[in-house]
Chains A and B, each alone.
Chain A
């Protein structure tokens, strides 16, 4: 589902972010990517969602060579993956309903189907009542749930979550984790979650990939990562 082979990334300003990353994630897996600040987690996400191009090597997601995409084709590729960001990235001038519906409008689904799908995912994330609210009227946890709803609305095969609990308190974080777990189980969505919250990693055990200074230093199939030199 996700394949990285010998991926290097060096930014234009000379910063080396990733060295020789080799990674393979199967369909239906739930994988954590952890590591301290500056370890290259965000760069890896950007390579996966097409925002950055690898300096060397090949990044392939759902069979698409992401690094070779033309600028205008990047959004079309993104319809195959859902991305959840730490800062939610909701459209401030659209309501919750419109925000979720937007991701479906762009792929030209018929209106009736859009309405059904939006209601379905709003129910899944527990926000049935908030359809007409604007993002600024919601709490951080609620906004993140809207972002997750938007990301899964068109049933992508892969969901990438970049620090989805980064701005949330522990109880909210647990709710989000339960939600991601549910999506992983019920839809069989492959989930790649970047985090530096070790509590979560140790509590909800999944395959864990550890990044440090741009290298993969550990790939723990059973999960759980106690030590961390931060």
Chain B
């Protein structure tokens, strides 16, 4: 029973070494593909983070008209905003707080002093700060807030913020699609390489059937071999990704251009990325060899 499990594993390992040149060939096909996939993974996962970051940092500010400065209006408007679809968080800032905030934006005491007299007759408005769950509905949420009774003006990052979000969104989708297409191409490439390695052994498979080996018995070592080749092929891209990403992160200080484009920290990104690369390598090796052997099992009766 134990030998039933160990035999294909042992034979699979032996196969990798006995057919070294072919293993190297299929393995490097996996390696090249996974390097490309790794680059796309780094790109799309980070862009995805940029988008989220921007979406979260973009907030809508809504000011309340002077005639509506009362506690009950504050509660009513707050609830109304909360009820709008897509709203994440609503914070209230009173006109006194707003004035303080404005005052604090000056660094030198003289200017601060010059504005002090206005504290008595505060020209600021009560305000609500609203963050949305998804940057793409910034515009519609802003429109809805504007419609609430008592709201005087609504402000948000504006068209440029939305455009940026939309652009990143389409880059991410496009990158994802390209990565997917490349992966499919890679599976064909690898299946084909493995098929070539097995074609060279079509006679061997026919002989195995001749001496009474069941299809599963013949197939299992080849599948193990495919998995090993896939896993081995995934090692260089994993190492490359590991060191490349770390050094890029270190070199850039963790963000590109501005804090808004902060990169995913390596300790967060690398385990997932490496696991994905290994999984792709193994799955591709498994499927590639499984289907390729199947064809040659049917070559002869």
Name the A residues within 8 Å of B301 (CB-CB): 50-53, 71, 74
Given the known interface contacts A51-B300, A71-B298, A71-B301, the answer about A111 and B3 at a Cβ–Cβ threshold of 8 Å is yes
Q: Interface size for chain B: under 10, 10 to 19, 20 to 34, or 35 or more residues?
A: 20 to 34
CB distance from A133 to the nearest CB of B (A): 16
CB of A72 closer than 8 Å to a CB of B:
yes
Quick one: closest B residue to A111, CB to CB? B3
CB within 8 Å: A-B pair count: 58
CB of A126 closer than 8 Å to a CB of B:
no
Binds B, one of A85-93, A115-123, A180-188, A193-201: A85-93
Name the A residues within 8 Å of B208 (CB-CB): 75, 91, 102, 106
A137-187 with Cβ < 8 A to chain B? 150, 154
* Dominant secondary structure of chain B at its interface with chain A: helix
CB of B110 closer than 8 Å to a CB of A:
no
Name the B residues within 8 Å of A102 (CB-CB): 208, 211, 213
Name the A residues within 8 Å of B215 (CB-CB): 72, 75
CB distance from A148 to the nearest CB of B (A): 13
**In the bound complex, how far is the Cα of B203 from the Cα of A89, in angstroms?**
8
* Dominant secondary structure of chain A at its interface with chain B: loop
Write the residues of chain A forming the contact surface with B, with a CB cutoff of 8 angstroms.
Answer: 49-53, 71-72, 74-76, 78-79, 83, 85, 89-93, 102-103, 105-108, 111, 150, 154
A–B complex contacts, Cβ < 8 Å, 28 sampled: A49-B210, A51-B301, A53-B301, A71-B298, A72-B214, A74-B209, A75-B211, A75-B213, A78-B212, A83-B210, A85-B210, A89-B203, A89-B206, A90-B207, A91-B204, A91-B207, A91-B208, A92-B204, A93-B18, A93-B19, A93-B204, A102-B213, A103-B211, A103-B212, A106-B211, A107-B212, A108-B4, A154-B212
Write the residues of chain B forming the contact surface with A, with a CB cutoff of 8 angstroms.
Answer: 3-4, 7, 18-19, 203-204, 206-215, 217, 298, 300-301
